[in-house]
Amino acid sequence: MSAPAGERIAGVDAPLPPGERVRWEGAPEWRSLAVHVFHLRKLAIYFALLLAWRAALATGEARPLTYFAVGAATLAACFAAAAAVCVGLAILCARTTTYAITDRRLVMRIGMVVPATVNVPLRQVESAALRGYRGGTGDVAARLEGDDRLAYFLLWPHARPWRFNPTEPALRCLRDPARVGDILRAAVADCVGEPIAAAGRKPEPARKPAPEPVFARSAG
The string of pLDDT tens digits covering residues 113-156 is 899 999 999 999 999 999 999 989 999 999 998 777 789 999 99
Q: How confident is the model at residue 14 (pLDDT cuts 50, 70, 90)?
A: confident
Strand pairing partners for 110?
Answer: 116
Of residues 2 and 195, more confidence is placed in 195
- The answer on 87 and 102 residing in a single domain is no
- The answer on 59 and 112 residing in a single domain is no
Per-residue pLDDT averaged across 5-9, rounded? 78
pTM, two decimal places? 0.85
Output the pLDDT for position 78. Answer: 96
Per-residue pLDDT averaged across 203-220, rounded? 64
- The answer on 116 and 200 residing in a single domain is yes
- The answer on 204 and 113 residing in a single domain is yes
The string of pLDDT tens digits covering residues 64-107 is 888 899 999 999 999 999 999 999 999 999 999 999 999 999 99
In a domain? residue 3 = no
Per-residue exposure over 172-198, b if at least 16 CB sit within 10 Å of its own CB, e if not: bbbeebbebbbbbbbbbbebeeeebee
Output the pLDDT for position 161. Answer: 93
Q: How many residues would you count in the chain? A: 220
User: How many domains, in total, are found in the chain?
Assistant: 2
Q: How confident is the model at residue 1 (pLDDT cuts 50, 70, 90)?
A: very low
In a domain? residue 14 = no
In a domain? residue 1 = no
In a domain? residue 10 = no
Round the average pLDDT of the chain to a whole number and report it: 89
Contact 30/175 with Cβ under 8 angstroms?
no
- Supply the CATH number for residue 140's domain: 2.30.29
Of 58, 78, 93, at which residue does a domain stop? 93
- The answer on 67 and 110 residing in a single domain is no
- The answer on 126 and 112 residing in a single domain is yes
Q: State yes or no: pLDDT of 2 exceeds 50.
A: no
Q: Which residues does 143 contact at the CB level (< 8 Å), separation at least 6?
A: 125, 126, 127, 128, 129, 166, 168
The string of pLDDT tens digits covering residues 145-181 is 877 778 999 999 999 999 988 899 999 999 999 999 9
- The answer on 79 and 66 residing in a single domain is yes
- The answer on 130 and 41 residing in a single domain is no
In a domain? residue 6 = no
- The answer on 102 and 55 residing in a single domain is no
The string of pLDDT tens digits covering residues 176-209 is 999 999 999 999 999 988 888 777 555 445 455 6
- The answer on 103 and 85 residing in a single domain is no
- The answer on 144 and 42 residing in a single domain is no
In a domain? residue 4 = no
Range of the domain at 75: 35-93
Of 93, 114, 129, at which residue does a domain stop? 93
Output the pLDDT for position 208. Answer: 55
Q: How confident is the model at residue 41 (pLDDT cuts 50, 70, 90)?
A: very high
- The answer on 119 and 68 residing in a single domain is no
In a domain? residue 15 = no
- For 92, 135, 196, the CA distances from 84, given in Å and listed in that order, are 12, 22, 44
In a domain? residue 195 = yes
